[in-house]
Amino acid sequence: MDTLEDLVTLHVKFRLRIRLSDFMQENKREVAATVLDWCTEEEMPGVVEGFLNEYLARHGLNSSEVLTGVNYCQPLSLNAEFL
């Protein structure tokens, strides 16, 4: 039930439309990255403070660790193919 409530919160409060399949991932760090991917730079602080901090805490994760540049950007850089 929390998942559906979270999706409604993201949709209504932040106007973000995250797919249920993306939100149901076991790795909640990836879920956080997906949520941030849907945000503009201006929206990020509000989404982090108004949703992600509490969401990550509910899943036993330290939001400071998850949201640091290393943890958020490193997977992106490792998956990128530079030509």
Give per-residue pLDDT as tens, 14-33: 999 899 998 899 999 999 98
Predicted local confidence at residue 13, as pLDDT? 95
Give backbone dihedrals phi and psi of 66, rounded to 5 degrees, phi first. -65, -40
Residues of the chain with pLDDT under 50: 70-72, 75-77, 80, 82-83
Measuring CA to CA, which residue among 1, 19, 11 is closest to residue 51? 11
The overall pTM is greater than 0.85: no
Question: What's the one-letter identity of residue 77?
Answer: S
